[in-house]
Amino acid sequence: MGAYVGEYVIIYLVAFTLSVFLVPMVRTLALRLGAVDEPDGIRKIHTEAVPRMGGVAIFIAFVVPVVGVYVLGATGVRGSWAYTALAANPTALAGLLGASLLILLLGVYDDLYHARPRVKVLFQVIAALILCYVGIQFSAVANPFGEGKITFWEPVAWALTIFWILAITNAINLIDGMDGLGPGVGLFVAGTLFVISLFLEVPLVSAVTAALVGAMIGFLIFNFHPAKMFMGDSGSLFVGFLLAAMAMQGSVKRHIMVPIIALALPIVDTLLAILRRWSRGLPMSVPDKLHVHHRLMKMGFSQREAVLVLYAISGILGCSALVIAVSNNVWAFWIASGTIVAILAVSVNLLGAREFVAAPALIAQAVRRRRRRGKAWVNVYTAAARMENVATLDELWASVERLLLELDLDTAHVRLEDDVDGKRSFDWVRSGTSPSIDAEGTMQQGWTARLPLLDGDRVLGSLVLGKDSRRGPLPDALGGMADVLCQEIVKTLERLDVSDER
């Protein structure tokens, strides 16, 4: 090991030097292009505009020594252990660098123009497929219950790889919410993977993570509080992607829990974020101030102190992953893994993550909410189907009344512009209730919605819906359901020849 560690030190030093040299240049470029992170006074902690797109400097500082070692060795200028490691599978190296470049470009675009979440996911999946194609995938893992390996059927291996890449890439992206935090956590994970790769003799991981460590440390000089530059999505997505790829290559040779423990901090923080947003019916792209670093600051820690606390946790987890990786006792793997996960869970809960303890209740609540929403939509489209078959206005209003009861509303009023004798109007109040409403149908103690009944650009009338807030909350997605109801009422009125009834 000692004979070739010096080569990795050189790779590290080249990456570090380039990073320190490049960050100011990329910072100037980001300012000119308008890639600046403005404070919003809501979720973001920084109080002044800070240029982002630091991932460009990290990527260049990382890729130059890696490619340089390969080129020098391939041209015969200098042969080395590092070159031998990279040349052992040039296809894998090319695929890794190409996929990493794709992720970097995605992040740069997001830093400049804000890419949609679905676009981010699409490009991350493409990058993961590139890795699968060149052989960087979960094709097999060490058997956690005994000797040997567990080999996956190729479609399963590809699916696991895509899931892992998406999970870790976005976990690093989500945790990068404080000066020095994202790069620091990524640095501890990369350092852990580097040391583990030396013990397990995975030289490709050693060369790649040595370069990444150097690039990250150089960038941290400018990113630690008060930050002069942020990684941006170009950096957090690239670093997360590369760490996910290297964790697959090196750690699982010995035990599947090794990469999970090394990446436990961003993984747990992301799981809690998913649980919070899913239980509230919110998309993952909606930000909040309930991440672990936000909770530390609410406890009174300064930005520097909060980051140092999380560095300490990352360091402990990295050392634990290293111990698990070099241990040969299966039961020691499981005991150490379980202990670390339990400690991490308790620590996160003590930081105020009540949703961690309340996870079963939150999940059950979210499942019930989604079932109610699904049932409500079924009722809406069932009512629409009934309206297609009604033959009279009385049948139409009966169908509307039935739907209003199913949606748990309290009042409804249909007013049409050409209603001469009142035949085409509909007034309804839920039986057994006494909501306070004015002459226009507005609820005095509750929710009221007025929606136009439109036939193209022509306004036929209006639909007024009311819900008494004293009886209970509004149904989920009621706005969309009301729009469908309006459309069906208009279509049914057009179909019915009511002029003969006048």
- Under DSSP, the state recorded for 282 is -
- 3-26 mean pLDDT: 87
For 35, 217, 287, the CA distances from 51, given in Å and listed in that order, are: 6, 18, 20
> Bigger pLDDT: 189 or 497?
189
pLDDT in tens, 135-146: 888 877 766 666
Model pLDDT, residue 502: 39
DSSP string, 44-109: ---SS-EE--THHHHHHHHHHHHHHHHHHHHTTS---HHHHHHHT-HHHHHHHHHHHHHHHHHHHH
Comparing CA positions, the residue from 247, 257, 287 lying closest to residue 270 is 287
3-class secondary-structure state, position 490 = helix
Q: In whole angstroms, give the CA distance from residue 261 to residue 337.
A: 7
Q: What size, in residues, is the chain?
A: 502
3-class secondary-structure state, position 178 = coil
Model pLDDT, residue 21: 94
Rounded to the nearest 5 percent, the helix, strand and coil shares of the chain are 65, 10, 25
pLDDT in tens, 283-302: 666 666 666 766 777 777 77
Model pLDDT, residue 367: 75
Structure tokens at 139: 């094709």
The DSSP bridge partners found for residue 141 are 150
Model-wide pTM > 0.95: no
Asked whether the CA dihedral 339, 341, 346, 350 is positive or negative, the reply is: positive
> Bigger pLDDT: 479 or 241?
241
pLDDT band at residue 346 under the 50/70/90 scheme: low
* Mean of per-residue pLDDT scores for the chain: 79
pLDDT band at residue 324 under the 50/70/90 scheme: confident
Q: In whole angstroms, give the CA distance from residue 380 to residue 101.
A: 47
Spell out the domains of the chain, with CATH numbers in brackets: 2-357 (no CATH), 363-501 (3.30.450.40)
Structure tokens at 411: 């009042």
Question: Which range (201-215, 289-303, 477-491) has the least confidence?
Answer: 289-303
Angle at 156 between CA 154 and CA 161, to 5 degrees: 95
Question: Which range (263-277, 291-305, 347-361) has the least confidence?
Answer: 347-361
Structure tokens at 481: 């359901």
Q: In whole angstroms, give the CA distance from residue 101 to residue 77.
A: 27
- 414-424 mean pLDDT: 68
> Bigger pLDDT: 207 or 444?
207
Highest mean predicted confidence (pLDDT) among 45-54, 283-292, 446-455: 446-455
Model pLDDT, residue 212: 95
Q: Is the pLDDT of residue 2 over 50?
A: no
Highest mean predicted confidence (pLDDT) among 200-209, 288-297, 334-343: 200-209
